[in-house]
């Protein structure tokens, strides 16, 4: 990971080289005013056109309640994390489950078994999510929002000035997380931009 820090100058950024697992706290006390920072050259991002054509568009596979189990209330959420080879957001016969992928409900964390299956305790106002493993990518929706989580809120958000979460109803039969293989996430080194106290 490479993070740019500004050691006492208003127009220069110094790269800090970190290894995976490093924890860094950065404090921003001054802003760039009338100065153009000199950034170390980094690889150019894909163009919008490239992203539009190459993005993995999809969603979770949510199987509604009452489609397979008896009518009893469920106390666990289960499903599978799988490789979505044809990118249709549905696990087909030739699409294997992915083992040893972590899934959480915000309280508990489990790893998928050899067939990519997981099971978690369920509760209201719970968000279940998958951790994107190295070499794979989660789908994004049309607004480029990553689709890696499911929120269980049976009654939905209370009345709010602005829209909240719509009622989700009973706990689903299963929530399956599709992933696709991706060379972009294969490297153990990751890059990100961190902005703090940004004001116009």
Question: How many residues are given for the chain?
Answer: 200
Strands, E assignment, the chain:
2-5, 14-17, 61-63, 76-83, 102-104, 109-111, 117-121, 126-130, 136-137, 149-152, 174-181
Q: What's the alpha-carbon Rg for the chain, to the nearest Å?
A: 21
| pLDDT of amino acid 85 | 96
pLDDT: which is higher, 66 or 8: 66
Query: Alpha-carbon distance 2 to 4, whole Å?
Result: 7
Looking from the CA of 131 toward its CB, the CA atoms found within 13 Å total: 16
Domain residue extents for the chain? 1-42+189-200, 57-181
Fold type of domain 57-181:
Immunoglobulin-like (2.60.40)
* β-bridge mates for residue 175, sequence order: 62
The kind and range of the H/E element at 93 are: none
Name which of 153, 68, 59 is nearest 106 in CA terms.
153
Percent of the chain with pLDDT over 70: 70
Beta strand 61-63 with 76-83 is unpaired
pLDDT at 107 exceeding the cut of 90: yes
Q: What's the burial of 6, exposed, middle or buried (CB within 10 Å: 0-12/13-18/19+)? A: middle
Q: Give residue 22's pLDDT.
A: 42
| pTM given for the model | 0.68
* Most confident of the ranges 26-35, 102-111, 181-190: 102-111
- Among residues of the chain, what percentage have pLDDT more than 90? 46
Residue 199 has a pLDDT of 81
């Amino acid at each position: 990971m490479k993070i740019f820090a500004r050691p006492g100058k208003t127009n220069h950024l110094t790269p800090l080289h970190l290894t995976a697992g490093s924890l860094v706290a950065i404090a921003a006390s001054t802003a760039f005013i009338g100065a153009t920072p000199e950034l170390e050259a980094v690889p150019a991002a894909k163009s919008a056109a490239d992203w539009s054509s190459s993005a993995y568009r999809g969603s979770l596979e949510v199987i509604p309640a009452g489609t397979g189990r008896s009518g009893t209330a469920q106390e666990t959420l289960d499903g599978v994390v799988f490789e979505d080879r044809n990118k249709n957001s549905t696990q087909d016969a030739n699409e294997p489950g992915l083992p040893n992928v972590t899934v959480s409900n915000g309280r508990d964390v489990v790893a998928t078994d050899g067939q990519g299956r997981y099971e978690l305790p369920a509760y209201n106002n719970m968000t279940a999510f998958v951790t994107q493993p190295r070499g794979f990518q989660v789908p994004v929706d049309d607004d480029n929002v990553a689709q890696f989580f499911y929120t269980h809120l049976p009654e939905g958000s209370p009345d709010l000035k602005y829209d909240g979460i719509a009622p989700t109803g009973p706990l689903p039969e299963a929530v399956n997380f599709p992933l696709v293989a991706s060379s972009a996430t294969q490297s153990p080194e990751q890059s990100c931009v961190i902005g703090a106290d940004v004001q116009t």
